Amino acid sequence: MASQHFIIADDHPLFRTALKQVLAREMPDVALSEAGTLEEIISLLANGPEPDLILLDLKMPGVQGFSGLAYLRAQYPGIPVVVISAVEEPSVIRRAISLGASGFIPKSASAEQMQKALQDVLAGEVAVPEDVSLDVADDEELEEMARRLSTLTPQQMRVLMMLREGLLNKQIAYELGVSEATIKAHVSAILQKLNVESRTQAVIAASRVDGVLIAPDRI
């Protein structure tokens, strides 16, 4: 039987190495690839065999908070994405699941807990820490904005991520290899889907969904 293939996406090489060692010991038949940026994830997905699962940190170059998760779920809906993060707040975990994550593994989890969570996800289940309930209601306004974010197309999500980096339309157009008119159309669609009136409001709304993830020392 062919081995399974996972992508480990985290911008800390030491953590990727440690995670690879854990997975190699607990799941020796799994082939592992590494990515340290969103662009590296996209390159692996475009040029290599489709993975059985992506292990995704919530903050790395090209990714701010939940934007990377939302992008991957929109672009590759058939590939399970498991968030692995140092942030363990239940509201963050529930928001990740609401945006399409198949599981959430705290970086503090034991090797045995990690293995069980991954096996559950590969079996089609949603894996979250035992003490986190997915039935608890969080801030309705933020949940609605998270739902709106999930309706963006992959290209619209990339444009929003670049807006959050402070890039102008012409800069985004250059980066994506399209016309400035195309970017303006994407921005208009983003504003409509998020029900906001300006680029600044769109960036603020997306940042609010990230909540505690904004602090640079949290991930």
CB 197 within 8 A of CB 191: yes
* pLDDT reported for residue 215: 42
What is the 8-class DSSP label of residue 4? P
pLDDT 10s digit of each residue in the chain, 219 long? 347 899 999 988 998 998 888 888 888 888 999 999 888 998 999 887 889 999 999 877 766 678 888 888 888 889 999 999 888 888 888 888 888 899 999 988 888 888 889 889 989 999 888 887 766 666 677 777 877 887 888 889 889 888 988 899 999 999 999 999 999 999 999 999 999 999 999 988 887 777 644 444 433
- CATH numbers and ranges of domains, the chain: 5-122 (3.40.50.2300), 140-214 (1.10.10.10)
* pLDDT reported for residue 174: 94
CB 4 within 8 A of CB 28: no
Q: Residue 116 contacts by C-beta under 8 Å, 6 or more apart in sequence?
A: 127
* pLDDT reported for residue 64: 67
Report DSSP letters for 146-211, one per residue.
HHHHTTS-HHHHHHHHHHHTT--HHHHHHHHTS-HHHHHHHHHHHHHHHT-SSHHHHHHHHHHHHG
Kindly report the pTM of this predicted structure. Answer: 0.76
